[in-house]
C-alpha cells in the first residue's frame, strides 16, 4: 500500500491538469491524458482529501485546486486607498480578494 499523503501517477497528472485552471472531470482527464473512469475515481479521492474543490456544483461539476490563504496576494496599500476613495467606505474582505486575483 502507498503511504498516506502519497499519490500515484494518475493523481499527479490530474493535479497538474488542474493547475492549468478549473475544469470538469472530463476536461481534466483529457488534459492529463488518462482514462475517464480512472479520472472520476481519483478525483473523488482528491476532493475527499481536500486537494481539489468543487467550484461550481452544477452538472457537470467544475473542479479546481483550492486557494489557500497563504497563497493569497495582499492588496497593496495604494489599491486599498483607491478602493476606499471610490466606494467611500472600507472595502470588505471578499472584494479585496477579488481585486487581488486581478
How confident is the model at residue 79, as a pLDDT? 66
Is-above-0.75 flag for pTM? no
| DSSP states along the chain | -PPTT---HHHHHHHHHHHH--B-HHHHHHHHT--HHHHHHHHHHHHHHTSSEEEE-SSSPEEEPPPPTTTPPPPPHHHHHHHHHHHSSPPPHHHHHHHHH-
Can you list the residues of the chain whose pLDDT is less than 50?
Answer: 69, 71
Residue 35 pLDDT: 95
Per-residue model confidence (pLDDT) at position 69: 45
Amino acid at each position: 500500500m502507498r503511504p498516506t499523503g502519497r499519490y500515484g501517477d494518475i493523481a499527479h497528472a490530474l493535479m497538474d491538469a488542474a493547475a492549468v485552471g478549473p475544469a470538469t472531470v472530463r476536461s481534466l482527464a483529457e488534459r492529463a491524458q488518462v482514462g475517464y473512469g480512472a479520472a472520476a475515481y481519483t478525483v473523488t479521492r482528491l476532493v475527499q482529501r481536500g486537494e481539489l474543490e468543487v467550484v461550481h456544483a452544477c452538472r457537470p461539476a467544475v473542479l479546481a485546486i483550492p486557494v489557500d490563504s497563504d497563497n493569497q496576494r495582499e492588496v497593496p496599500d495604494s489599491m486599498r486607498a483607491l478602493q476606499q476613495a471610490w466606494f467611500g467606505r472600507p472595502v470588505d474582505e471578499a472584494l479585496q480578494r477579488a481585486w487581488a486575483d486581478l
